[in-house]
Homo-oligomer: A and B are copies of this chain.
């Protein structure tokens, strides 16, 4: 693709040279990221940023930023944004969905390509940089009105979110819930994916599915889905120092690991 011009006719080269990309009115393009973590209470959390400028000043939003045209893919833009916002590098992102309603941003037409990232909390550094006034983790909660988000005693609802971000987050959670049964997503949320117990993993599943799971059954599907497939390895060691029977330790063998 990069070398397309090499195999071109003279005629076509001329066409490419004279092509004016500014001929048509274009929308802006951003890359946004839904960042999930597990907090100290073993609850699923999302990273939100309080907007310092218009529009939606003082509303909470998921991190994101404009794509640098001609220089980066939307995934690269999301990675750059993730790094600027959290100091995290080399985190695999999965594309969630692209939102493109003409009036989802009051300034202008903005097309947002949204990605999901799953990160262990300990790796998050909060950088108070750029246009971000404030960044915080919010627990994901459910009640009769649907979703809401809690950070300590502060509880925010979809009305406190900027743009269509509440829809975006809703979709991200739905997808995560579906994926977790057949993709090794949960391992990315472990404190230490190279040494963990089945119980620790179960807590992640329970928090994402928002219901408690049967120990015996969870165990069995762990063996079938991950251990016997080589996704996970038995370290042959036991946890120690906990207030209960020592547990077998496992290691996630996926991409890069730690």
A residues engaging B (CB < 8 A)?
1-2, 4-5, 11-12, 15-16, 19, 21, 24-29, 54-55, 57, 66-75, 95, 97-98, 100-104, 106-109, 111, 113, 163-164
Tally of this chain's copies: 2
| A1-B101, A68-B25, A103-B1 given; A16·B109 CB < 8 A | no
A19: which of B12, B67, B74, B107 is its contact (CB, 8 Å)?
Answer: B107
**CA of A2 to CA of B163, assembled, Å:** 11
B1 and A109 within 8 A (CB):
no
Residues in B neighbouring A19, C-beta threshold 8 A: 107-108
Interface centre among A2, A24, A72, A111 (most CB of B within 10 A): A111
A100 and B75 within 8 A (CB):
yes
A1 and B70 within 8 A (CB):
no
- Closest Cβ of chain B to A130, distance in Å, is 15
Minimal Cβ-Cβ distance residue in B for A164: B1
**CA of A27 to CA of B164, assembled, Å:** 22
A54: which of B1, B16, B67 is its contact (CB, 8 Å)?
Answer: B16
**CA of A72 to CA of B2, assembled, Å:** 31
A27: which of B16, B69, B95 is its contact (CB, 8 Å)?
Answer: B69
- Closest Cβ of chain B to A21, distance in Å, is 4
A103: which of B2, B16, B57, B66 is its contact (CB, 8 Å)?
Answer: B2
Inter-chain pairs besides A25-B69, A27-B69, A27-B70, 20 sampled, C-beta below 8 Å: A1-B103, A1-B104, A1-B106, A2-B103, A4-B103, A12-B54, A12-B55, A12-B57, A15-B54, A15-B55, A16-B54, A24-B28, A24-B66, A26-B27, A26-B69, A27-B29, A67-B100, A73-B100, A75-B100, A111-B111
